[in-house]
Each structure stands twice: as C-alpha cells, then as structure tokens.
A and B are shown apart, each in its own frame.
Chain A
C-alpha cells in the first residue's frame, strides 16, 4: 500500500509537468461509474469520441504508430490541484500484411499486447477505461466531494521534444540579421511555428463527484 501511494504521488508529480486542466471544475461533464474495491477507488468511463474525427480514425490504419494517452486527475471539489493521478496509454499500429491492429496497453494494472481485427476493437481497448484503479481511500478526506478531470490526447508530443522543435523552427536558416531592420527572413516562422501542436487531438472532461 505504501508502494502504491508512492507510485501515485510520483505519477502525479511527473504529470504535473504536462498540461493539466487549468479549471477542471468547468470542464464539460461526463458520467463515470465508480466502484470501491476494498479501499481502492475504481472508475469506468468512455472516451471514444476522441476519435470521432474521420481524419484521426483513418490515421489508425496508416501503418504508423498512434498513441492514445489518457490522464485522469483526482480533484477535490473546489480545488485546482490534483491529489492523485491515473494514467492509461495505448499504442496502436496497423499491420499492413497481417491486416490486424496491434495494440499495446499500459495502465496501472500492467502492460499487455493484443491484436484486434477492426476499429471497434481498437476503441474498446484504447478509448474506454474499465475499472481503472484511481486512488486509495487513504489519500481522500471522508465526507468531501472528489471528481476526475480527464485529459485524452492523440499522439502527444513530449514537452522536451515540443520545445526542441519550437526552438528549431523559430530559428530559420538565414536569419542572421543582428539588427531588427536586417532580419529579412526573421519573422515568417511565426506563421507555422504554432503548428507544432502538443498532440493530434485532445479531449477533456470531468466526471460527476464521488464522496468517499
């Protein structure tokens, strides 16, 4: 139990480096099913709509790896700092020759590889949280409302990679002007540097409250 709590705290700290919802209470609401497994809170919810964009759905079959990363932050109602975090990531790659989707899931319950035949199978494995271990009761205050603030990202780019790419793009070849009047090619990069988005798609929502 000590290990579990430490792991959760570590995960929460590392995830703080990524983008958290700035105002989690104001996120669009979504229903989740909660269940207590002894003193462990488990949650089940769907985020299949992260792949409603046909472009993203088609991308599932392009033969390259697609990552669907879900972060569920546990918030005390009225506060913006999470008390815990559960992470679930799913990597999908379509095998062009075997004509199956190879799925690798990584969540608090371990890592597993599966092959599915169609996009429905991918959505079932990668766009639903089923009995996801969320937080130990000991980390929560009895009688107080908590909720999950969930961020789902398609192909998230690591913060380090993102900053590296933005630096690279913000310094185009030839922008050697030392004076502002000499930077003939200095500013056009602003037009595309924003295209280095943090992910191909993002979905955020909050769940209804639960009182431990």
Chain B
C-alpha cells in the first residue's frame, strides 16, 4: 500500500480481494474490479495497481498506489420561502427556512462515515448526527446509527380556527383577536440503529429500530371548518411526554446510470415500519411506503422520467410519520428533517376536498418529467438539464373513504390535486442543485386553497 496517509491500510485491504499466496491472473478482470472497488469507496482520487518482482522467481508483489481525496462532502442544502404562523397562531405571509447536511465519509481513515445535518426556521430546529460503517467487523454488513433532535411546530386549521391555546401562546392573542391557526409545539429526541446487507449488485435491504421521546405542548382544544361542518382538530400527537418505538425494513433496487441526471434505469424503494406498542410505544401504527422510478432515454437525446409513489399508514401514527401535502406538491415546501415549514394547504387546482388534508394516512402520486440536456462537461459542472414535470397526487384519511366532509359532492370528494414544476437541474462537483419555479408559483393564490371552503 502506498499513498494512504489518512486511510488505514487495513481499510484499503478490505477492498483488495487478492491475498498473499494467491495465483494472480494479470489478464483477468479481478484486478480491474479491485481498482473500481477502491475508487468506489470515495476515499481516493486515483488508484493504480502494479506488480514488482517477489522474493522468488515467479512470485510478484501487488502494489496499490492511492491518491487520497477530500472526503468531507456537503450532501444537501435547503433554502426556501414559506408561509408560516407566529407562536400566537397568527399567519405570517413569508418566512425563510434553511439547512444543510454534510458528511465526512472516511472518519480518521477508518472508512466509517460521520454525517451531520441541521434545519432551521422561525422557532424550529432540527438536528441529525449519523454514523455509518459500510463493512462492520470486516463483514458485508452495513451498520448505521443516528441521533435526532427536533424542536418543531406544526400548524393546523385556517383563518377561522377556534383554539384554546396553552397559556404561553395566548399572551398576544387577547390583544390581537382570535388566532388564525392552531399551533402544536413538540420536541423529539432519540435515535435509530440500522443494519443492512447487499442482496446483489443492484439491491440492498436494511432493518432498523427506532426509539424516541416526544414532548408535546398542544392546545387543550381546537376546531376548524371542515366543509360545511366544524370539526375538532386532531394534532396526531399525545400531549405531554410519550414514547415512539418502531421496527422497520427498507428494500432498495437501483439500476440508474447516474445518481443525479440519470438517463436510463430503475429505482425502487419500499419500506415498512411497525410501532412496537407492546414494548412501550405510545403510537400503535404500521406504515408501508413504495416508490418506483423509471428513466427512458429518447432517441433524440432527451430523457423521460416516470415516477409512482404510494403509501399507507394504519393506526395512530405521530404527525411526522403521516404523509404531508408539501412532500407531494412541488408548489409547497417539502419537510426537511421532518420539520414542517409551511401552513398552507394544497393549491387545489381541481377544487376538491384535498384542501381539508394537510396530513393524511393514505398518499399516492404519479409524476412525469421531461428533461432536455443543455450542457455536459467533465470539470466543475458535469451537466445542466432543463426540465418540466407534471404530476397528480392524492392525500386522504379514513374519513375520506367513509364519510367525506359535508359540503363536497361528486368528484370534489376525491382528494386529489395536480402539481408541476419547471427549471434547471445542475450537476456540479459540489453536488446536484435543482432550480425550480414551483416554490415561487406556489405563492400565487388559487381558488379553493383556503381550508374549510364549501364546494
């Protein structure tokens, strides 16, 4: 081994399949695979293999020369605008949110990855620390541990909400009148341990256990218009302290040819999580999610991407485990580290009762994206594509199947809406960026966007 100043030799040797005494085939592909395996760790900028004479005729020494690279990587950056609610429950037209996540992929040369992430918004903070060992005890098992902390808020209702706010939150409301929204404040602290294994070159399975303590400060009572009625607001959290404990499994199948601007291949991710109520979890629920994507290269050089998503939550899951409209619509900010930044309901282009559902137990989406490559390079910018996407999504609760809100009839009782986006996907040395217009377009009011409107 030569050139590994930081990375431990034992770590490098894990990826070298040849051992002392082995018969070496200089024309075989195994040596080529060894080089690719080492490059694939992400620890090295260059890897070269060579042979030197050994101690006896016919014997050789395999030399591995590596050039190490910077392994501290910015994974993701979030920046955006949202419409949220102040602590007293009054609407604010615009607020900013942001965050980032970074990973040291080769911690002290051990091959272990240490990642951290934060997300902030007004009166909200999310933190994550994650440790990953891709070859636990030199086996092919991957282990992962994560610590999480969230000081979060969730917004419910709309301008005509009736809420009995906790004492701390009502100080300003008496002077300013009734609040517009009910605000649930909660803190989460806990962790997750996972273990995973490759099932083949394109698939992987992970099992995880999660344990969290949740402290929630909820309005003692709140109600809001739902169609032609007034309904109590379900905050989907237990007041005071509660425990969440789950077991989960995730399967991934990935044949994409590129992680950010794929032109062909498939990606399937399916997960199931079940709350361990008999072992102390206060939230009895099961969650099943599946997402599938297919990329099609078109003969004229463009790319078509079809994606489908479906998920079901059965039982009383905490609200951050429910499906959220912002994660389905491009016109609203996604959640980041499980923080909800926006109070708005679905844009409701189709004038349905989806406007009543910020969160749901059932979600499904179909998206179609068309991409046109504008630029390809090999230095700091690898590729720029212009894209346009269109999708249809649905978000429902049990009541939408049994007793839909009064005031809606016909197709308006099917809680679906459309979503769209257009912009640029830019793949750079620093990571991938998406510049889309949907976040700004989302601030243009659409009829029916207010919750509780009667159709």
Contacts and interface: CB of A to CB of B under 8 A. Distances in A.
Interface of A: 59, 62-65, 91, 93, 96-97, 157, 161, 163-176, 178-181, 183-196
Interface in B271-307: 271, 289, 291
Given A173-B134, A185-B130, A188-B75, 6 more contacts: A63-B26, A91-B27, A169-B36, A174-B134, A178-B289, A191-B73
A65 B49 CA distance: 11
A167 B202 contact: yes
Nearest to A180: B334
A186 B259 contact: yes
B166 interface: no
A171 B334 contact: no
B443 interface: no
17 contacts: A63-B51, A65-B26, A93-B27, A96-B60, A167-B255, A169-B40, A171-B204, A172-B42, A174-B194, A180-B334, A185-B105, A185-B115, A186-B259, A187-B431, A188-B103, A191-B42, A194-B378
A192 B49 contact: no
B258 interface: yes
B209 interface: no
Contact of B432 (A62, A185, A187): A187
Contacts, number: 158
B26 A185 contact: no
B49 A184 contact: no
Contacts of B9: none
Contacts of B42: 172, 188-189, 191-192
A167 B128 contact: no
B254 interface: yes
Interface of B: 26-27, 29, 31-32, 36, 39-40, 42, 45-46, 48-53, 57-58, 60, 69, 73, 75-76, 78, 101, 103, 105, 113, 115, 117, 128, 130, 132, 134, 142, 144, 146, 194, 196, 198, 201-202, 204, 206, 250, 252, 254-260, 265, 269, 271, 289, 291, 327, 334-338, 378, 382, 427, 429, 431-432
A166 B132 contact: no
B383 to A, nearest CB: 10
A190 B327 contact: no
Given A91-B27, A185-B75, A187-B75, A176 B40 contact: no
Contacts of B128: 184
B289 A190 contact: no
A181 B144 CA distance: 17
B52 A96 contact: yes
A188 B198 CA distance: 19
A157 B51 CA distance: 21
Contacts of A165: 36, 40
Contacts of A184: 75, 101, 103, 115, 117, 128, 130, 146
Nearest to B126: A181
B334 to A, nearest CB: 6
Contact of B194 (A97, A176, A180): A176
Given A62-B50, A187-B432, A171 B254 contact: yes
B334 A167 contact: no
Contacts of B334: 179-181
B40 A192 contact: yes
A111 B401 CA distance: 73
Given A65-B27, A167-B254, A170-B258, A192 B52 contact: no
A178 B269 contact: yes
B142 A173 contact: yes
A165 B146 CA distance: 29
A167 B256 contact: yes
A163 B264 CA distance: 10
A164 B78 CA distance: 32
Given A172-B42, A174-B144, A179-B327, A185 B256 contact: no
A166 B201 contact: no
A107 to B, nearest CB: 19
A170 B196 contact: no
Given A97-B57, A181-B336, A187 B260 contact: yes
A185 B204 CA distance: 15
Contacts of B39: 169, 192, 195-196
Contacts of B130: 184-185
A63 B49 CA distance: 9
Contacts of A163: 257
Nearest to B28: A65
A183 to B, nearest CB: 7
Contacts of B46: 195
Nearest to A97: B57
Given A63-B60, A93-B27, A191-B429, A176 B252 contact: yes
A62 B256 contact: no
A140 B185 CA distance: 79
Contact of B36 (A175, A178, A196): A196
Contacts of A93: 26-27
A39 B88 CA distance: 91
Contacts of A190: 259-260, 382, 427, 431-432
Which are the 9 A-B pairs with shortest beta-carbon distances?
A63-B51, A62-B50, A173-B134, A188-B73, A170-B259, A174-B132, A171-B254, A173-B142, A169-B40
